[in-house]
Structure 1
Amino acid sequence: MSRPQGYIEGEAPASQQHSGSNGGSKVRSERVALLVVSALLAAAVIVICRLSLDNMHTKQSFQTLRDEHEAVKRNLTERRCEVKSYNTVQQTSPQPPVVKENDPRPKCEHGWEQYGRQCYYFSIDLLTWSKSRDECRQKGGDLVQIDSREEQTFLELKLREKNNFEWDVFWIGLTDSEKEGTWLWVDGSPLNESLTFWFLGEPDNWTGNDPDGADCVRMGKKAGAPDMKRWFDESCKYTYRSICEKPAETRHFTLHCV
C-alpha cells in the first residue's frame, strides 16, 4: 500500500495533533481556575475563623474588665462604710448612726424652734392680735397656748434671747374678748386658774388708750417681774410680735451608707 505524500512514519496527521492540543489546554485552564477558587475559599475560611476568634477574645476581655470594675466598686463602698463607722465611734459628741431607718422622732421645719413635741415660731412682724393669729394660721399653727410651767420657762428663756429692748413683747393665744373676765385659749379651752403667770395687778382691763379695754394677752420683759410673771392684758389693737405654735411632724426616712 502506497503512503500519502509527505507522510512520516510514527507521526500523527496534523489535523489530529491540533485537536489534541486544544483539549489539553482546556483541561489545564479548568484545573487552574479550580485551584484559584479553592485557594480563595480557603483564605476566606481562615479570615472568618480569625475574626471569630478575635471577637470571642474581645468579649472575654470586656467581661473580665467588667467583673474587675464591679469588684473594685464593692471594695471601695465597703471601705467608705468602715471609715465612716470608725469616725462615728471616735467622735466625742453624740452623733447619729450612719444608717437609720424610719426615724420616728418629731421634727420642726426650718425657722421653728422645738420643745418636746411642739414647734414655736417667734415672729418679727408687729401686728395686732387678730393679724398675728392669721399669720400663725398661714404657717400651719396658731398663737401659742401655754399648758405647763415647763413650757412657760422655755418660752421665757427664748424671749430673753430674742428681746431687743424693754417693750419688745409677744402676743400669746389667750383672750377674754367673748366675755369679760372669762379667759379662753385659741382652741376654746378655758384658762387653768391654777396655772397662770400674770404680772402683779394683772389683768386690769385698762381702758386708758382703748375704751374697749384690754382683751388680749402678751408676754415679755418687765423689770422686777418675779417667778416668770410676764403676762399682761392689752388692747387687741396694739401691734406686737407674736409666738406661733404647732405640733412637730414625724418624718419617716432611710439613710444609707454611701
Structure 2
Amino acid sequence: MNLNQQSETAVALPVRCADNPAVCNHNGTCYDTSTGYVCLCNAWYTGRNCETVLRDHLVVTTLNTWVDARNYCKLIGGDLVTWGIRNAAVRRSIINQLLRPIKGDGFWIGLTDRQKESRWVYVDGVSATLNNTDFYNLEPNNLGSITGSANCAQVFRGFSFQMDDDVCRALKFPICERR
C-alpha cells in the first residue's frame, strides 16, 4: 500500500426530520438532535422509529366522565376498549394485569345505549350480545341515578370486575384501546 494514498471513508450525514418527514411511524413526532433525530412515540408504540407495538390497552389513571374518557382515548390514537372487552381471554388479561393493581372501582368501556335505550352497542358499531358481554347478574338495569339514565357501561370492581351500567357523567378510569 502506498503511504501517500488516503483511504476514502464514507461519512453518513445524520438524518434530519425535514429530510424524511415520515421517519417516525404511527404518528410519532420527530425532533432533530445534534446527532440526527429522535422519535417521540405515542402511547401505543415504541422503537427508534415507533415501529413496534408496545401495548393494545392502557388504563388512564385520571377520573373522567364517559364522554371525556372517550375523547381522551381518541386524542391518543385509540378509543374506549371494545374488542378487548368482548374477548373473554383478553378481558381476563386486562382485568388481571391492568385493573386489579389500580385502586379504582369503576373503569369505562366503549359500550353504551345512549342512542336508543336498552339497545347496547359498542363504540365500534358491534351490537352487544350475551356472547360478547359480561354483565353482572340483573345488569344492565338502568339504576344508579334518580333520572334512570345509566347509559354507559363500566367494568366494576364491586361486581368482581363484571360489566355494569352507570350514569355517563360519573367519574371513572378509562380503559383505552389501540386503533
Counterparts in 2 of 1:246 and 1:151: CA distance versus 1, 3 Å? same
Which of the numbers 152, 155, 171 marks the counterpart of 2:91? 152
What is the Cα deviation at residue 152 of structure 1?
1.1
Residue 243 of structure 1 pairs with residue 175 of structure 2: yes
The structure with the greater share of residues assigned to helix is 1
Residue 230 of structure 1 pairs with residue 166 of structure 2: no
What is the Cα deviation at residue 185 of structure 1?
0.4
Q: How many residues align?
A: 137
Check whether the contact 1:171–1:241 (CA below 8 A) recurs between aligned residues.
yes
Query: In structure 2, what residue type is equivalent to 1:62?
Result: N
Residue 219 of structure 1 pairs with residue 155 of structure 2: yes
What is the Cα deviation at residue 158 of structure 1?
2.1
1:182 counterpart residue number:
119
Query: In structure 2, what residue type is equivalent to 1:245?
Result: E
**Two-structure CA RMSD over aligned residues (Å):** 2.5
Counterparts in 2 of 1:160 and 1:134: CA distance versus 1, 3 Å? closer
Counterparts in 2 of 1:201 and 1:159: CA distance versus 1, 3 Å? farther
Following the alignment from structure 2 to structure 1, what is the Cα–Cα distance between the partners of residues 54 and 57? Answer: 5
Check whether the contact 2:117–2:151 (CA below 8 A) recurs between aligned residues.
yes
The structure with the greater share of residues assigned to strand is 2
Question: TM-score, normalised on structure 1?
Answer: 0.48
1:61 counterpart residue number:
3
Counterparts in 2 of 1:149 and 1:245: CA distance versus 1, 3 Å? same
Query: In structure 2, what residue type is equivalent to 1:194?
Result: N
2:101 counterpart residue number:
162
Check whether the contact 1:136–1:244 (CA below 8 A) recurs between aligned residues.
yes
Question: TM-score, normalised on structure 2?
Answer: 0.67
Following the alignment from structure 1 to structure 2, what is the Cα–Cα distance between the partners of residues 233 and 221? Answer: 13
Following the alignment from structure 2 to structure 1, what is the Cα–Cα distance between the partners of residues 90 and 167? Answer: 25
State the identity as a percent: 27
Residue 131 of structure 1 pairs with residue 68 of structure 2: yes
Secondary structure of 1:198's match? coil
Between Structure 1 and Structure 2, whose CA radius of gyration is higher?
A: 1
Secondary structure of 2:3's match? helix
Which of the numbers 135, 138, 156 marks the counterpart of 1:201? 138
Gaps (5+ residues) in structure 2? 10-43, 47-52
What is the Cα deviation at residue 147 of structure 1?
2.8
* Residues 7-31 of structure 1: CA deviation (Å, up to 9, x unaligned): xxxxxxxxxxxxxxxxxxxxxxxxx
Check whether the contact 2:58–2:98 (CA below 8 A) recurs between aligned residues.
no
Gaps (5+ residues) in structure 1? 1-59, 71-107, 248-258
Which of the numbers 77, 80, 86 marks the counterpart of 1:143? 80
Check whether the contact 2:59–2:99 (CA below 8 A) recurs between aligned residues.
no
Following the alignment from structure 1 to structure 2, what is the Cα–Cα distance between the partners of residues 238 and 172? Answer: 13
